[in-house]
Amino acid sequence: MFRHIEQEAPTKRRGGLHKAGRPGFVWALPAIVSFALFALLPLAFAVYLSFTKYNGIRLVPPEWVGLDNWARVVTDTALHKSVGITLLLVLCAVITQIPLALLLGVWAAGPQRGRSFVAALYFIPLLMSTAAVAVLWASLVDPNFGIPALFTPLLGPDNAFSNILGKPASAFGLVVLIYLWGATPLYMLIFQGAARAIPEMLYQAAAIDGAGTIRQFFSITIPQLRNTIITCTILIVVGTFTTFDLILILTRGGPSGATSILPFFMYDRGITALDFGYGCVIAVILIILASIVSIGMVRVTGYDKMQGTQEGI
């Protein structure tokens, strides 16, 4: 993903100078040890616990049950549905957030003075926690006190807006919209920064060749932002795999499992139902899924070879 780190080959060693003033391994130890203890160890625990019956109560230690939890994966149709919904949400999130963030980011990168002010307004959702966004939108779409109530006099008591969270399709659509609302500003900002780095002469050359704005956008801006698009896509994929608070507060996975994405499913089945062993099975599935999608994307797009988009300019 962030390959440019590795581009920094160890600087050429020169005589006796090469070690002077360079930090040894000890410098990295505090971070590495704490990361190993509290991030890698839990990862190993997740695998271990997935083979146990564990209800999260200290007095009852995990009990080894072999493949019992994993066998349930095959028959648990709710889990299959949850995987499908998660992948669908990832897809919807990418195809809504990337184009919008790209357009807004490129637009905000423009020179007009008003734009930086407008860009600051776009930033507002980033000031809100997901919990705050979820509570705000839950109130906005409340059938009695929210915006849908305004439509009742016009469209009658039982219209398309009256029970958004009560119908599977509209509830899922709303989750996509809210996620778009809350997450786009971040990606917009990233695109804005990247768009500013595109050399101006490329546009000048294109203008001399007679290319219009739209042609320039597709022939220069998008190819130049290719790596940024990939980075943002990966961030969206990983972010979607953790959109937990929004679901918990807004829909609790409903109606009838229509918004029960894997992180929520894990919470619901594992933690709420005190079935921590099975919860860890879902966690492991989630980790594998997120890794496959991320690595797959890096491979497919050739991002791991990390050709700079400005090579040869």
Looking at residues 275 to 294 of the shown chain, list those that interact with other proteins (rule: CB under 8 A): 276, 279-280, 283, 286-287, 290-291, 294
200 vs 261: CA distance, rounded Å = 43
Q: 163 to 182, contacts with other proteins by CB under 8 A? A: 181
Stretch that binds other proteins, among 7-15, 78-86, 89-97, 164-172 (CB under 8 A): 7-15
Residue count, binding to other proteins (CB under 8 A):
123
Of the candidate residues 51, 179, 191, 265, the single one contacting other proteins (CB under 8 A): 191
User: What minimum distance in Å lies between the beta carbon of 233 and other proteins?
Assistant: 11
Contact 159, 152 (CB under 8 A): yes
151 binds other proteins per the rule CB under 8 A = no
Counting contacts by CB under 8 A, is residue 125 touching other proteins? yes
Q: Strand pairing of 52-53 and 63-64? A: antiparallel
Between 92 and 106, CB nearer to other proteins: 106
107 makes contact with other proteins (CB under 8 A): yes
Q: Is 270 in the site for other proteins (CB under 8 A)?
A: yes
How near is the Cβ of 298 to other proteins at its closest, in Å?
10
Q: Which stretch binds other proteins (CB under 8 A): 74-82, 135-143, 159-167, 168-176?
A: 135-143
Binding region for other proteins (CB under 8 A) out of 29-37, 77-85, 90-98, 156-164: 29-37
Binds other proteins (CB under 8 A): choice among 103, 167, 170, 257: 103
Per CB under 8 A, 132 contacts other proteins: yes
CA gyration radius for the chain?
A: 24
What is the CA 94 to chain-centroid distance, rounded? 9
CA-to-CA distance for 172 and 260, rounded, in angstroms?
Answer: 9
d(C-alpha 225, C-alpha 289), whole Å: 26
**Residue 250 and residue 240: Cα distance in Å, rounded?**
15
Matching residue, tokens 């779409």:
141
Chain mean position to CA 159: 33
Which 8-state DSSP code applies to residue 305? G
Find all residues with CB under 8 Å of 52, minimum gap 6, and list them: 62, 63, 64, 65, 69, 277
Least Å from the CB of residue 168 to other proteins: 21
What is the rounded CA–CA span in Å between residue 32 and residue 293? 26
Verify binding: residue 20, other proteins, rule CB under 8 A. yes
